[in-house]
Amino acid sequence: MSQMEVTVAQSVEEAISLLAQKGDGARVIAGGTDLLVRMKKGEVVADRLINIGQVSELDYVSYRGDKGLRIGALTSIQTITKDQVIRVHLPALSEAAALLGTPTIRRQATIGGNLCNAAPSADMAPPLLLSEAEARMRSLSGERLISLQDFFLGPGQTDVRQGELLTEILVPELPSGSRTVYLKHTRTRGADLAIVGVATMVQMDGRIVKDARIALGAVAPVPMRAAEAEKSLVGRELDDRLLDETAEIASSEARPIDDVRGSASYRRQLVRVLVKRALKMTTEKN
């Protein structure tokens, strides 16, 4: 059996030069809760790991009114459940973090790893899609921003290029007075991946919906926004009929598959139920 080479990076500079040096067979490891499982199953082959777990400059949450939230890629899921700034500015992200895995996993797992692993069910993705977040990538050739809408290319596939490190997630401020919710349906009450995840944001003007965003997880090859369902809400008075109509449109926009966690038709039905419930909860919070 060939030896695994693990190099521990102490800074972003060191991590990106190691990525450039070590070439194709090298992978970044953060918390390792996805990568080590996938390597053990033989789904990912890597003979060189670059461990960024000690790069403390990537572990932060900060907020500036005009710039919104900035979350370092190495921020743990546990920190996201507790951080007061996130709770105030993107509560759906705190709610999603609290529903991810077990306490042990949440301490180890990072937001960057959750996004780069690109599972269609990744719990961090729907709330971040609501806020039209961007991913900052760094490599030896410089920096670029990728809109989260374009970040995911398919199950396990992202737009991250060879030699690039995800350093932070930029989360613009949501429309003023808006509220957000994240709901997740799983097979068991304990830790499990989502059969369906739904995040919603609503901004009301009296009884009229001024702005609305709906993001879905685990119902398509990538986490997605339900754009047509969002359009159906804006400018209209919010009542039960409109909620049913919107939930139906969201369900028709989903592109679910059958898998061990649920059939495609069950997932469509869950989208109907959860979108309606999430929108109700979002507007009742208003």
What minimum distance in Å lies between the beta carbon of 192 and ligand FAD?
A: 6
Judged by DSSP in three states, 13 sits in: helix
Give least dist CB 173 to ligand FAD, A: 24
Show contacts with ligand FAD in window 81-110 (CB under 6 A): 100-101, 105, 108-110
Coil, helix or strand for 109? coil
State how far Cα 61 lies from the chain centre. Answer: 16
Q: How many residues bind ligand FAD (CB under 6 A)?
A: 32
From the list 79-87, 118-126, 206-214, 247-255, the region that binds ligand FAD by CB under 6 A is 118-126
Both tokens assigned to 168: 């932070």
Query: Angle at which helices 240-253 and 264-284 pack, to 10 degrees?
Result: 140
| Footprint (CB under 6 A) of ligand FAD, residues 16-75 | 27-35, 37, 52, 73
- Mention every residue, 6+ apart, whose C-beta is less than 8 A from residue 265: none
**Residue 262 near ligand FAD by CB under 6 A:** no
CB of 110 or CB of 232, closer to ligand FAD? 110
Minimum distance from residue 9 beta carbon to ligand FAD (Å): 11
The answer to the question of residue 134 lying near ligand FAD (CB under 6 A) is no
Minimum separation from the CB atom of position 73 to ligand FAD (A): 4
Closest CA to 96 of 87, 104, 88: 87
Residues that bind ligand FAD (CB under 6 A): 27-35, 37, 52, 73, 77, 100-101, 105, 108-110, 112-114, 116-117, 121-123, 160, 165-166, 191, 193
